[in-house]
Amino acid sequence: MSKSKQTSLLVHGYEVVIGFETHAQLSTQSKIFSRASVAFGAEPNTQACAVDMALPGTLPVMNKGAVERAIQFGLAVGSHVAERSIFARKNYFYPDLPKGYQISQFEIPVVQGGEVSFFLGDEKKTVRLVRAHLEEDAGKSLHEDFHGQSGIDLNRAGTPLLEIVTEPDIRSSAEAVAYAKELHKIVTWIGICDGNMQEGSFRCDANVSVRKPGAPLGTRREIKNLNSFKFMQQAIDFEVRWQIEQIEDGYEIEQATVLFDPDTGETRAMRTKEDAADYRYFPDPDLPPLVIGRDWVEQVRADMPELPRDLERLYVEEYSLTPYMASQVVSTYAKALFFNSAVIQNGDTDAISAAQLDDPEFYKPFARRVAVWISGEISRVMNEEGGPDWQFWIDPVTLARIALREQEGVISGKAAKEIFDYIWKKGRDEKANAPPDLVDSLIESKNLKQIDNADELRSIVAEVISKNSDSVSQYKSGKEKAFNSLVGQIMKMTKGKANPTQVNSVLKEMLSL
């Protein structure tokens, strides 16, 4: 998105204000306070133990794996991991909550502060986090197949959740989607959540309000359970339009919880929103304070994979990628891995020599070239055809070879693209990576080698000059366009195999004779 678009985010003179609450289901084997399994899709009530069913006399026992994942998240987004946090009971009645309360964290959450940054177009945006707290999920009401009655499935009860809450820093539906995608990337990257939105492992609530610029915050409505990025955008756009219409028509917005209906594309009020006071939060007497020693935090830190933001910084420093380019390369774990293997190789079949890898004059532009391939063609084929077999399409060393021949001037960008397309389609169809010599043999067999022989090029340029005396005299009388038309003629005669930079300089030189 261009700068000008970013600075005019107002919708009909109103500023949009959004804060997110995201529930990430933590990827533990068992529940947060019991030993029952959290596997998705089992027969109703086969994965609910006495604790999950709230039988009298049962007691919750904290799952260490859930806490560890909360710590990982805190470290990944630069939060403070609290040394002592408290579990609280959030009291409400609902058939899928047999205890009559949800165990959550209220006043003192485990993860405090932090931020999530991302690019929207080429502009960087930072959203501050308020907190992330541990809590248990509720069960589910089932309304089908019960002869007109409803049933309760407690398999989901007690599933560990991390609820991640932002400040109201988001200013448009596009920013909201970009934030949610970035958060999704972080939790899946560090492996604390499988990110499956369809199964509800990553669901977002968007709190939306509008105001005149400079006015105090407007009243918000909370759109619940957005489980696709597409619906997220549609729901927020609809909600913003609806709120502005209400205000313009003289109504006041009433705080409410709303649901998005994908069939109508509209949001609809579900209930007027409770305030925190309605839940009668109090510390859960069954659970002691959660104490996290500094040594545990450091141990978790040591075991974490390299984080996206650290890789971005590294790529900017090492290879002089622009911050935007670096963010593109690191936009998924798979792409970052691909970039890394293409640029830093250490096997027998390497395209790049050790000497080249030691020479910044070589490896910086080379890495930038590979980054362009990854943010362009590689992303395109991943998005369009992204399937389980993508690793066969094209391997990092083969891409490195293509980029290398391009950098050496052996082939043009257009020829490189032709080779790329040929190889990834072949890899897709045959489910096998390209043999090491394929790039060079394609350059030969498809006759894609650029003309690098200066004498050959000179004779072609001379011929074009003699056949196009009109263009030549126009150029000499100051018409720049005539020059381009001569370049076009030369490219045509060489079937696009002349190096454009070389053509330019040879033509200039020969025209000035």
Q: How many CB atoms lie within 10 A of CB 50?
A: 13
**What H or E segment, with its residue span, contains residue 315?**
helix 308-319
Residues 378, 94: Cα–Cα separation, whole Å: 48
* Region of 19-27, 78-86, 193-201, 505-513 interacting with ligand ADP (CB under 6 A): 19-27
Q: Under DSSP, is residue 88 helix (H, G, I), strand (E, B) or coil?
A: strand
Using CB under 6 A as the binding rule, the residues of this chain from 220 to 249 that contact ligand ADP are 220
Q: Which one of residues 34, 47, 209, 499 is an interface residue with ligand ADP (CB under 6 A)? A: 209
Q: Which of 6, 11, 21, 452 binds ligand ADP (CB under 6 A)?
A: 21
d(CA 98, CA 101): 8
* DSSP bridge partners of 465: none
Q: Which of residues 179-208 bind ligand ADP (CB under 6 A)?
A: 207-208
Residue 171 in the binding site for ligand ADP (CB under 6 A) = no
Q: Does 267 bind ligand ADP (CB under 6 A)?
A: no
Please report how close the Cβ of residue 163 comes to ligand ADP at its closest, in angstroms.
9
172 binds ligand ADP (CB under 6 A): no
- Among the residue ranges 18-26, 46-54, 101-109, 412-420, the one whose residues contact ligand ADP (CB under 6 A): 18-26
CB of 251 to ligand ADP, least distance (A): 17
| 497 touches 412 (CB < 8 A) | yes
Residue among 167 and 261 whose Cβ is closer to ligand ADP = 167
CB 96 within 8 A of CB 140: yes
Assign 490 to helix, strand or coil: helix
The answer to whether 111 and 133 have CB atoms below 8 angstroms apart is yes
Quote the least distance from Cβ 346 to ligand ADP, whole Å: 45
Residue 291 and residue 81 in contact, taking contact as beta carbons nearer than 8 Å:
no
Could you tell me the sign of the dihedral formed by the alpha carbons of 491, 492, 495, 496, in that order?
positive
C-beta closer to ligand ADP: residue 168 or 436: 168
Rounded to whole angstroms, how far apart are CA atoms 350 and 358? 14
Which is closer to ligand ADP, CB of 70 or CB of 443? 70
Size of the site for ligand ADP (CB under 6 A): 16
Least Å distance, CB 335 to ligand ADP, is 30
Q: Please state, in angstroms and rounded to a whole number, the distance separating the CA atoms of residues 183 and 141.
A: 29
Q: Single out the residue of 394, 453, 392, 389 nearest to residue 422, CA to CA.
A: 394
Q: Does 166 interact with ligand ADP (rule: CB under 6 A)? A: yes
Among 14, 18, 405, 412, binds ligand ADP (CB under 6 A): 18
Which CB atom, from 183 or from 460, has the smaller least distance to ligand ADP? 183
**Of 160 and 218, CB closest to ligand ADP:** 218
Q: Does residue 258 touch ligand ADP according to CB under 6 A? A: no
Task: Give the angle 259-184-383 at the CA atoms, nearest 5°.
Answer: 100
Among 167, 278, 298, 306, binds ligand ADP (CB under 6 A): 167
Does 218 engage in binding with ligand ADP (CB under 6 A)?
yes
3-state secondary structure at position 121: coil
Q: How far is the CB of 275 from ligand ADP (least distance, A)?
A: 7
Q: Rounded to the nearest whole angstrom, what is the least distance from the CB of residue 165 to ligand ADP in the complex? A: 5
Q: How far is the CB of 242 from ligand ADP (least distance, A)?
A: 15
Task: Rank residues 16 and 75 by Cβ distance to ligand ADP and give the closer one.
Answer: 16
Closest CB 239 distance from ligand ADP, rounded Å: 11
In angstroms, rounded to a whole number, what is the distance separating the alpha carbons of residues 320 and 323?
9
Options 217, 269, 337, 354; binder of ligand ADP; rule CB under 6 A: 217
Question: On the CB side of 77, how many CA atoms lie within 13 Å of its CA?
Answer: 33
Residue from 61, 108, 142, 165 binding ligand ADP (CB under 6 A): 165
Instruction: Using DSSP, state whether 299 is helix, strand or coil.
Output: helix
Describe the chain by its helix, strand, coil percentages, rounded to 5: 45, 20, 40
Q: Which of 78, 168, 191, 323 binds ligand ADP (CB under 6 A)?
A: 168
β-pairing, 256-261 vs 221-226, is parallel
Phi, psi (5° rounding) for residue 91? -90, 125
d(CA 193, CA 22) in angstroms, rounded, equals: 12
Q: Which of 14, 20, 238, 260 binds ligand ADP (CB under 6 A)?
A: 20
Name the one range near ligand ADP by CB under 6 A: 216-224, 334-342, 448-456, 476-484. 216-224
Q: Compute how many other C-beta atoms are within 10 angstroms of the C-beta atom of residue 384.
A: 7
Binding site for ligand ADP (CB under 6 A): 17-21, 165-168, 207-209, 217-218, 220, 276
